[in-house]
A and B are shown apart, each in its own frame.
Chain A
């Protein structure tokens, strides 16, 4: 037992010595925290949660997925296999899947022209998106009918005035 814990400690110390930067921020970080404290989180493993929005842009074996946590949207670079897990992306007519990505955060990614991004290693779907039902607002409909009536009235009045 004692030997086991010693071995574990040595392995842990070795890991930290070999890759000191790869500290893991297990708790999900917000986009504001990541952008605001970008230097602190640069090149570190982070977890970020939000709604997948817009297009899933396939680029060879990888894809760009923009994920919005309500404050900002961040670009996440991921393997196509991970991107395929996303079924809905947010737009006017849909709510996108809510996902949690874990990956390496870059303040200025050297691979992607200095973009602030996350290179995802894993993706977990927290909620499934849906199509939003389009309902016509009746107040708007009534207001437009009322205004149309007012326009007709003005037109009739101008006809009388001309006569």
Chain B
């Protein structure tokens, strides 16, 4: 028998949702300060209005649903999935008010794309967008990459047992430190340290490239946030092509890879345990899959004769590949060039890389390296069982911070999530094909949305049907939260309708 949710459930969900909204509202003060610094009063007002709406909504929920009770698993999951939807709507308000987004749906698309660190964009006339709005576009990637709930846990909530439930609901099942609030704060510490270093590196490179110092450092901050959080937005419409710089490309590759690594691995590296990077199953799997997928891309590009030399083939092919594999979505080619200059084999290489993603507990989306590694180990174990004598004990283990013995439970979980992602990629491709796009193009864009990558072959544009925009929004949301909290909210809705 399905039980109808009680009023108490709704109150608890509303209370914690309200707190997260208040946390989100606080972050909107940053673009207001930017607007004041750059003397952009009109954009600053867009954010003032958005803050007021957010605080109004947050206060309303906190005051009307006030409770001292803690969250249970179901409530925690629902708070997380609803937080992301509400963040999309609230984050879209200042974007829409700027007049650079044709409809509110387009603004919602970009807001979800930002929070989910995807990078697909429907903004118009980006090259004339204010510093204030541009910073917000990149800031939401930084916030979403760390996790909206992680922000609330780090700065706005005291430790409580429900915190872990929300933390897990946001697709982070690994605690770095014993306390989940300390873990969240560590994630922010890592991000801030890299933010400073990355911005300095990109800012100085920009100046050497001929950019004005202020613009160069502003671009540095934005590009860092988009690269480290594997987001893929950029301050100019040409993405990384704008800079015409090999050094810029190399630095962004380093930042993208750092963003694709597990925060737990960062912790061990910071603690001086450098051997972990070579032993860890995720880094070794990432290394192997990059080599395999790049080989596919390189063969495809060589077949096409798209680039005049091996060096240019490597530069273009490797950049798009790493950008896709880490889930970033920076492009050093135009979207249309994917279809004109890349053959099906090369496109399949990128699609495969996008579908695999980076490490768990990182800012990337997609299936992720730990699951790929676990599935590979399970295959190896089964193969050994066939080859070895029946009485032989076959035990498979792998290194992920510590030595872990492979268990059926782990393999089952990895396979279920992998299957769910494959279905999500396929469903999006079906919708794309319904709107007349060829299979490979539709699969490319769908995988990019669901795996939170942001590479585009040109399907994503303001003229695409509203239903396709909504499909990609759902894919970005589901892909970022790794299904569980989204499934929980669906179950909750069914219980509300059918429950007794």
Q: Are A154 and B63 in contact (CB under 8 A)?
A: yes
CA distance A151 to B48 in the complex (A): 12
Contacts A114-B307, A136-B45, A147-B52 given; indicate if A108 touches B127 (C-beta within 8 A): no
A149 to chain B, nearest CB (A): 10
Interface size on B, residues (CB 8 A): 51
A74 and chain B: residue at smallest CB distance: B238
Q: Which of A92, A147, A154, A155 contacts B49 (CB 8 A)?
A: A147
Query: In the complex, how many residue pairs between chain A and chain B have their CB atoms under 8 Å apart?
Result: 131
Which of B192-200, B256-264, B329-337 lies at the interface with chain A? B329-337
Interface residues on A, range: 35 or more
For A72, the chain B residues whose CB sits under 8 A away are: 237-238, 334
For B97, the chain A residues whose CB sits under 8 A away are: 140
A70 and chain B: residue at smallest CB distance: B125
B306 to chain A, nearest CB (A): 7
Q: Which of A92, A112, A135 contacts B128 (CB 8 A)?
A: A92
Q: Which of B60, B212, B337 contacts A35 (CB 8 A)?
A: B337
A58 and chain B: residue at smallest CB distance: B210
B136 to chain A, nearest CB (A): 13
Which of A14-22, A49-57, A97-105, A118-126 lies at the interface with chain B? A49-57
Q: Are A151 and B59 in contact (CB under 8 A)?
A: yes
Q: Which of B53, B60, B128, B215 contacts A55 (CB 8 A)?
A: B215
Q: Are A73 and B308 in contact (CB under 8 A)?
A: no
B397 at the interface (CB under 8 A from A): no
A39 and chain B: residue at smallest CB distance: B340
Contacts A73-B238, A75-B241 given; indicate if A108 touches B307 (C-beta within 8 A): yes
A110 to chain B, nearest CB (A): 4
For B60, the chain A residues whose CB sits under 8 A away are: 154
CA distance A113 to B128 in the complex (A): 27
10 residue pairs of the A-B complex, CB under 8 angstroms, read A39-B340, A53-B127, A54-B242, A55-B210, A57-B243, A112-B244, A115-B241, A136-B42, A136-B45, A158-B59
Q: A59-B209, A73-B237, A134-B39 are in contact. List 14 more A-B contacts (CB 8 A).
A: A75-B238, A113-B316, A114-B312, A116-B333, A116-B334, A116-B337, A117-B244, A134-B42, A136-B41, A137-B45, A141-B45, A151-B55, A151-B56, A158-B63
Closest 6 CB pairs of A and B: A57-B210, A114-B312, A147-B52, A92-B130, A58-B210, A53-B127
Q: Which residues of A contact B (CB under 8 A)?
A: 32, 35-36, 38-39, 53-59, 63-64, 66, 68, 72-73, 75, 90-92, 107-108, 110, 112-117, 134-137, 140-141, 143-144, 147-148, 150-151, 154-155, 158, 161
